[in-house]
């Protein structure tokens, strides 16, 4: 089944925040944000701005009727700077004017004086100064200190990975409308409608039932709108609260890039120990997470870093410690992979380091250490693994041995172009790491004409979750998908939702939908049994028909629905799902936090131009564990998109903050994302379909985030290519591997020799 949005997307008919028709009297908000990363506001001069054409009012922190607080996990983030500013881009005032242009003109006339305080941008420096968001956490398995004693090879090193701009095509924004009795309707481009509702309730000092959040769809979120849509919604809601008029704020791209947080940069140390058979016996890692100026989701991201500290490998002795470090950058936030990619890059670097020293290809080590069913992850969960299956199938299907030989042959015949090949296995845990978040609800109505309307907590952001939810209902009822509609996500229809995140949206909301549909189906079957005068067990539904013992009766779906209504049987159901089996004890740092894991292996081949340092990706060949994919087209799209986004993070996307905490890569002219020329020439995806049972919806495993981490293979493919041109060079484990870095690595030692 195609994505139900595809034809509207293609015609430009899909509704995003900016497509909502505006009510008469709508005003436009724009934030004035701090130009200084850290300091005390000594003077804020609004006079000239207030006189500016079309300005209705300018709000500051003192206009907040409730609490000036939007921190989700920890209350450490003011909505609007009060006395202190903690990062460049922090909202200081909100201009509300008759048009978007007039508001932006007025913002330029605001003058602020800030007495500067010391600025920290480096997470290691923050850690040394004791600037931590939360207490550090440590995961351990076995005894790494003892185990290192018995290792034949031990290697230590440092790894750095940079941030990543979400670059959702639709920027952040909100539109708030006053309703009766002080209620406010909030249209928000958010992954977390309840998070928006909760934040606005706190800021306005109103009960949550006064705030209706509605989301039709997002033009991408990628984690950037899990928590950080709250700001714009709360700012607009505050203006609507005071002015009793609709208020809209739609961020310009540069505002969005400057004011919002990104993927967390990490700086990490590793120590890896191997025995003579290349088994990884011990592994230690320390992670310094650059959290930015407030907690946001950093503690949860930190946790997932620890969960994935050994990626797809079984290591019997592990010790991993993670620090969430407070710096003067915009608070960093969720981004596809949620701390997992940062860690996986560390252990892959450790393995590449070992391979360098031992003079072998890293895959020799990777392959010997893949986690198997029955092995224990460092947090105590026992693996039900497809790691070896994926790896071996990838090796065979894409003939890795031959591919390696082809690369070697190419490299021996070419001097100015070199190829490199790398394998990247992944293992990603599915479930929110916080157990309580793994719950969802679905409201299903069957109307008397047989059409079906579904509301869930799921937010459609391009990942195709609405299509999957529709498929669930179509399958349970066995009716035509055309007679089913999936509604916008709305906090008045579905309450207390978890954000659409953690790749678990289809699992959680799909299961809730399945539960609701099955409850209605069972009632309908009872009605059919009475109407047709047979036992309920004999009734089934297929292709809009009622069957008795598998044979078509005279009754169809519509007639059955009407019969139920006439008998006053409920045609609606509110389904609730909570993932069973999962638990975690943060005191012991042990448990069974994930419903299941997703596995896979990618083979990445790259070619570099050794004069220019530029590169291309010849191919990414993947065997990915889909369980039993319920939508092959959507799932393929998710894998392709994830790979490209992962390659972008690892290679060309370079977030640059200067020492003053100012974003220098603040536009698409200075921040390079993959385009049609830089995506891999070929992406081949093999669907590992397994018959094993799992907790996914229809056994179709979550696919949103895991494929991003195949992109890490791109870094190591480039590294291999560099090695073949310049065998002496020790390329630092410092991503992104931009063309500039490639060029320096290619010629570093040689340049020195020439001098």
220 binds, among ligand MTE, ligand HPA, ligand MOS, none (CB under 5 to 8 A by kind): ligand MTE
Q: Inter-axis angle of helices 465-477 and 505-532, to 10 degrees? A: 20
- List the helix and strand counts (H, then E) for the chain: 19, 30
- Supply 367's token pair: 């392959």
Write the DSSP assignment of 105-132 as a string of letters. Answer: HHHTT-EEEEEE------HHHHHHTT-B
| Least distance from ligand MTE to the Cβ atom of residue 259, Å | 19
Site for ligand MTE in 690-709 (CB under 6 A): 702, 704-705
| Least distance from ligand MOS to the Cβ atom of residue 711, Å | 15
607 binds, among ligand MTE, ligand HPA, ligand MOS, none (CB under 5 to 8 A by kind): none
Write the DSSP assignment of 279-291 as a string of letters. Answer: -EEEEEEEEEEEE
The CA distance from 29 to 38, in Å, is: 25
Site for ligand MTE in 264-293 (CB under 6 A): none
| Least distance from ligand MOS to the Cβ atom of residue 1, Å | 24
Q: In terms of residues, how long is the chain?
A: 755
Q: CB of 511 within 8 A of CB of 473?
A: no
Position among 151, 443, 465, 469 found at the interface with ligand MTE (CB under 6 A) = 465
Residue nearest to ligand HPA (CB): 502
Binding mask 217-256 for ligand MTE (x = CB under 6 A): ---xxxx---------------------------------
Active-site residue set? 705
Phi, psi of 385 (to 5 degrees): -100, 145
By beta-carbon proximity to ligand HPA, the closer residue of 336 and 367 is 336
Helical spans, DSSP H, in 270-361 = 298-307, 340-358
| Least distance from ligand MOS to the Cβ atom of residue 344, Å | 15
641 binds, among ligand MOS, ligand HPA, ligand MTE, none (CB under 5 to 8 A by kind): ligand MTE
Pairing of strands 91-97, 484-486: unpaired
Q: Of 435, 141, 423, give the one whose Cα is nearest residue 306.
A: 141
By beta-carbon proximity to ligand MOS, the closer residue of 450 and 462 is 462
Q: CB of 192 within 8 A of CB of 333?
A: no
| Least distance from ligand HPA to the Cβ atom of residue 432, Å | 4
| Least distance from ligand HPA to the Cβ atom of residue 337, Å | 9
Binding mask 14-53 for ligand MTE (x = CB under 6 A): ----------------------------------------
**Which residues here bind ligand HPA, judged by CB under 6 A?**
226, 297, 300, 304, 334, 338, 432-434, 437, 501-502
Residue 12 buriedness (CB in 10 A; 0-12 / 13-18 / 19+) = exposed
- Which window, 300-308, 402-410, 432-440, 461-469, contacts ligand MTE (CB under 6 A)? 461-469
Q: Is the previous residue joined to 736 through a cis bond, with omega within 30 degrees of 0?
A: yes
Indicate the SS3 state at residue 214.
strand
**Which residues here bind ligand MOS, judged by CB under 6 A?**
191, 221, 223, 226, 334-336, 338, 501-502, 705
Q: DSSP code of 678?
A: T
Range 80-83 contact pairs with CB under 8 angstroms and sequence separation of 24 or more: 80/235, 81/34, 81/41, 83/40, 83/41
Position among 81, 473, 501, 517 found at the interface with ligand MTE (CB under 6 A) = 501
Position among 127, 638, 666, 724 found at the interface with ligand MTE (CB under 6 A) = 638
The CA distance from 609 to 596, in Å, is: 42
- Which window, 295-303, 460-468, 490-498, 604-612, contacts ligand MTE (CB under 6 A)? 460-468
| Least distance from ligand HPA to the Cβ atom of residue 630, Å | 21
What residues line the site for ligand MTE (CB under 6 A)? 220-223, 336, 461-463, 465, 500-506, 638, 641, 702, 704-705
């Amino acid at each position: 089944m195609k994505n139900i949005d595809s034809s509207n997307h293609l015609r430009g008919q899909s509704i995003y925040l900016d497509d909502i028709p505006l009510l008469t009297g709508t005003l436009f908000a724009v934030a004035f944000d701090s130009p200084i990363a850290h300091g005390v506001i000594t003077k804020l001069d609004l006079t000239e701005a207030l006189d500016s054409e079309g300005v209705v009012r300018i709000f500051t922190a003192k206009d907040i009727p409730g609490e000036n607080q939007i921190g989700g996990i920890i209350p450490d983030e003011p909505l609007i700077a009060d006395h202190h500013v903690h990062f460049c881009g922090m909202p200081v005032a909100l201009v509300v004017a008759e048009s978007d242009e007039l508001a932006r003109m007025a913002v330029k006339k605001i003058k602020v004086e800030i007495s500067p305080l010391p600025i920290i941008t480096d997470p290691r420096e923050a850690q040394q100064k004791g600037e931590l968001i939360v207490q550090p956490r440590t995961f351990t398995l076995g005894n790494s200190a003892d185990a290192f004693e018995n290792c034949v090879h031990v290697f230590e090193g440092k790894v750095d990975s940079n941030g990543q701009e979400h670059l959702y095509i639709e920027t952040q924004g909100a539109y708030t409308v006053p309703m009766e009795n002080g209620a406010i309707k909030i249209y928000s481009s958010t992954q977390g409608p309840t998070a928006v509702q909760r934040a606005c309730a706190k800021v306005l000092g109103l009960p949550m039932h006064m705030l209706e959040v509605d989301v039709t769809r997002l033009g991408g979120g990628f984690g950037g709108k899990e928590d950080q849509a709250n700001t714009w919604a709360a700012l607009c809601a505050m203006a609507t609260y005071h002015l009793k008029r609709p208020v809209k704020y739609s961020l310009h791209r540069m505002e969005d890039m400057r004011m919002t947080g990104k993927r967390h940069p990490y700086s990490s140390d590793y120590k890896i120990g191997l025995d003579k058979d290349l088994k990884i016996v011990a592994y230690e890692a320390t992670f310094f997470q650059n959290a930015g100026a407030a907690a946001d989701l950093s503690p949860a991201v930190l946790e997932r870093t620890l969960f994935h500290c050994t990626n797809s490998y079984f290591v019997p002795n592990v010790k991993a410690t993670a620090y969430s470090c407070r710096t003067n950058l915009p608070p960093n936030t969720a981004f596809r992979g949620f701390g997992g990619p940062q860690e996986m890059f560390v252990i892959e670097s450790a393995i590449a380091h070992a391979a360098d020293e031992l003079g072998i290809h890293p895959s020799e080590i990777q392959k010997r250490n893949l986690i198997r069913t029955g092995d224990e992850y460092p947090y105590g969960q026992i693996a039900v693994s497809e790691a070896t299956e994926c790896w071996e199938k990838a090796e065979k299907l894409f003939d890795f041995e031959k591919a390696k030989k082809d690369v070697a042959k190419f490299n021996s015949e070419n001097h100015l172009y070199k190829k490199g090949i790398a394998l990247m296995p992944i293992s990603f845990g599915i479930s929110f790491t916080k157990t309580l978040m793994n719950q969802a609800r679905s409201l299903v109505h069957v109307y008397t004409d047989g059409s079906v309307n579904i509301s869930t907590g799921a937010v459609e952001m391009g990942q195709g979750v609405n299509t999957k939810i529709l498929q669930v209902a179509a399958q349970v009822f066995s009716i035509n998908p055309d007679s089913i509609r999936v509604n916008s996500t709305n906090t008045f229809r579905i309450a207390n939702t978890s954000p659409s995140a953690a790749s678990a949206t289809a699992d959680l909301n799909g299961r809730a939908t399945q539960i609701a549909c099955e409850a209605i189906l069972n009632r309908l079957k009872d009605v059919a049994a009475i109407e047709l005068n047979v036992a309920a067990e004999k009734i089934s539904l297929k292709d809009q028909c009622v069957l008795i013992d598998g044979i078509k009766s005279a009754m169809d779906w519509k007639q059955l629905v009407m019969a139920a209504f006439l008998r006053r049987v409920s045609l609606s159901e509110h389904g609730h799902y909570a993932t069973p089996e999962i638990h975690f004890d943060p005191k012991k740092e042990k448990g069974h936090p994930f419903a299941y894991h997703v596995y896979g292996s990618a083979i990445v081949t790259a070619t570099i131009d050794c004069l220019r340092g530029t590169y291309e990706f010849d191919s990414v060949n993947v065997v990915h564990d889909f369980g039993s994919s319920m939508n092959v087209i959507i799932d393929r799209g998710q894998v392709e998109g994830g790979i490209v986004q992962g390659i972008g993070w690892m290679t060309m996307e370079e977030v640059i903050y200067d020492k003053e905490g100012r974003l220098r890569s603040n536009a698409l002219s200075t921040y390079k994302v993959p385009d049609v020329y830089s995506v891999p020439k070929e992406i081949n995806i093999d669907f590992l379909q397994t018959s094993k049972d799992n907790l996914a919806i229809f056994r179709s495993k979550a696919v949103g985030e895991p494929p991003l981490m195949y992109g890490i293979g791109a870094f190591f493919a480039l590294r291999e290519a560099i090695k073949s041109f310049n065998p002496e060079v020790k390329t630092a484990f410092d991503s992104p591997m931009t063309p500039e870095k490639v060029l320096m690595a290619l010629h570093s030692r040689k340049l020195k020799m020439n001098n």
